[in-house]
Amino acid sequence: MDKKTQGAWIVNHAEKLKTVTNADNEFEQINFAGKCGVLLSSLSADDQAILDEKKVGALARAANINIRTELPAFLTELERQRLISKGSNAIEVLGMGSGSILEHASRIFEESEPESKELAVIELAERCSDLPMDESVAKEYIGDSYKLTNKSVNDLFHNVDCIGFVDSEEAYSGNKLLFNGNLFRGTDTKKAYSIISSMSTKDASKINELNDMLTKDGCVTVHTAKQLLGAELLEKAHSIALFDVNSIGNESGQHEFVTKPSAFNKYSNSTVEDAFDLAKAFVTSLTYGMTSSAYNRGRIQMITALLDKLIRGEWVGPATAIGQDYQVLELKGVVEVEKAFGNRCRMRLLKREVGRLALQVITEGDASQNSLESLPSVSATNYKAPEHNRQLSRKNQTVTMKRNIGEILNQLRTGSI
């Protein structure tokens, strides 16, 4: 696989390691390189920049990096890679985009001399992105490819399952199938057809209707999707990533909406873009500005003109909404926000590639403005990505539900694709 894709899986796996106690010691180089990538994404912009110590600490905390025990080591490594230069009270960061950041994460990983098992879990994840794999076949392949004993392979697959590097379900036949949330991020419609053709006529009709709705409108609320599919069918489809569920909200609670996994694939490599979920978070925040903000606080009326100005690197504002509706993007290092006067703030875009992708998605369909009007009227102060929500949903499934999903995956694996 290319370095960007490898870097994306390193970041993905590092995020998964956050949820499991002591698992980072088992996959130490993945954890280190992945967190370096996440930190670099937060610190870097398109142009070279100088960040003071306070801002570096704030961005690190927002990325769930411990500033006392982890940050110094990550900064030392980024300096060794000549990506930053440390001063007494500030750092200078080279300008770079997401693709370059993933390549740097891949290089940090490779230079750390990773163990065979770490290389194995990255390749396993990539292979399970294409089609579900029978676990016995996957074990044989990994064992032969990385010269691992049977015990080492069994221990590795146990850890993979516990951490969630890949997901697994058992079909009624007893076969254990391995897959992950990237199954439907490409544009190959044969996979979706294979799944839909295995369903009852009634369920297939409902899935097709939701697919058509999303193709036309880009996104719908989870409430709308549940009304159409029913809770159980939506959960099945969500579990295998046939649909994505994005979560946004603030102190008033979480609000969820459904999108197609391939919505961004038209404009980018989804595996690479999904490593940081920056464009999705940007589209979400812009949605609030277009549909929820009152005119007197800075409601967006000319989205194309606004984005064009941001992409040129210019400041926009001042407006009250800017200080409230773009906190997620500020914490991820996508925009810079500063006070102008009173409660009014202005902002500029630090990662212009994210703005260009958001502009395409908003103006060319797959997340068009008319569909975004269904989102809730609250200021976005947090964003939970589709993979986080999918894993949360899987933890709450019954045994019967898991077996049904296993059968769907078996159909996908053995279907005429």
Q: Tell me the per-residue pLDDT of 279-330, one tens digit each, with 9 for 90 and over.
A: 666 766 665 545 444 444 444 456 677 788 888 888 987 887 777 777 777 8
DSSP letters along 22-67, please? THHHHTHHHHHHHHHHHHHHHH--SS-EEEEHHHHHHHHHHTT--T
- Tokens of residue 332, six digits: 């991820």
pLDDT band at 367 (very low <50, low <70, confident <90, very high): very low
List CB contacts of 357: < 8 A, sequence separation 6 or more: 264, 267, 268, 273, 279, 282
Do residues 173 and 246 share a domain? no
d(CA 242, CA 326): 29
Do residues 163 and 264 share a domain? no
- Tokens of residue 27, six digits: 């996959």
State the average pLDDT over residues 221-245: 83
Do residues 74 and 169 share a domain? no
Do residues 317 and 300 share a domain? yes
Residue 397 belongs to some domain of the structure:
no
Do residues 56 and 99 share a domain? yes
Do residues 384 and 284 share a domain? yes
Do residues 85 and 140 share a domain? no
pLDDT at 188: 53
State the average pLDDT over residues 383-402: 53
CATH number at residue 131: 1.10.10
The four Cα atoms 294, 298, 304, 309 give a dihedral, to 10 degrees, of -170
Residue 204 belongs to some domain of the structure:
no
Domain assignment of residue 326, given as a range: 214-231+238-389
Residue 71 belongs to some domain of the structure:
yes
DSSP letters along 314-374, please? --EEEETTHHHHTHHHHHTTSEEEEEEETTEEEEEES-HHHHHHHHHHHHSSSS-HHHHTT
Do residues 24 and 106 share a domain? yes
pLDDT band at 412 (very low <50, low <70, confident <90, very high): very low
Do residues 150 and 260 share a domain? no
Do residues 13 and 75 share a domain? yes
Residue 202 belongs to some domain of the structure:
no
Do residues 13 and 136 share a domain? no
Residue 47 belongs to some domain of the structure:
yes
Residue 206 belongs to some domain of the structure:
no
- DSSP annotation of 19: T
Residue 203 belongs to some domain of the structure:
no
Q: Nearest to residue 245, comparing CAs of 225, 270, 216? A: 225
Q: Which carries the bigger pLDDT value, residue 244 or residue 74? A: 74
> Domains in the chain: how many in total?
3
d(CA 210, CA 299): 30
Residue 299 belongs to some domain of the structure:
yes
Do residues 163 and 257 share a domain? no
pLDDT at 34: 94
pLDDT digits (tens, 9 = 90+) for 3-26: 988 998 999 899 888 877 766 678
Last residue of a domain, one of 90, 114, 138: 114
